[in-house]
Amino acid sequence: MARLVVIYKTPKDPKAFDDYYFASHVPLAKKIPGLRRYEVSEGAVGSPVGASGVHLVATLHFDSVQAIQDSFRSPVGLAAAGDLVNFADGGADLYFFETRAV
């Protein structure tokens, strides 16, 4: 399995971010080919030293890193990636990696 983790930093207007993210971005992203599961953080995203500056963390599950890369070359994947400018004005970091149980 593989994961794509998107860390959204605190936006200028958190309510506007949430409204757009859940009404528009999530339905689009859920159509990405190869997506197996989509999870988001709920509530505050903290750190061991206090406030994190992170508003939301999304974790998308795929079969492999190659599947992630292929999915974001698709029309829907390109549209989902391009949609970030519509709501993620605080910035977003994306990371993808293979996983294994330990």
Helix ranges (H only) for the chain are 14-20, 26-29, 65-71, 75-82
Range of the domain at 18: 2-52+59-98
Report the chain (102 residues): mean pLDDT per 10 consecutive residues: 98 98 98 98 93 96 98 97 97 97 94
The predicted pLDDT at position 27 comes to 98
The predicted pLDDT at position 51 comes to 87
- CATH number at 70 reads 3.30.70.100
Q: Where are the beta strands (DSSP E) in the chain?
A: 2-9, 37-40, 46-47, 50-51, 54-62, 92-98
As for how many domains the chain has, the answer is: 1
The predicted pLDDT at position 36 comes to 98
The predicted pLDDT at position 47 comes to 93
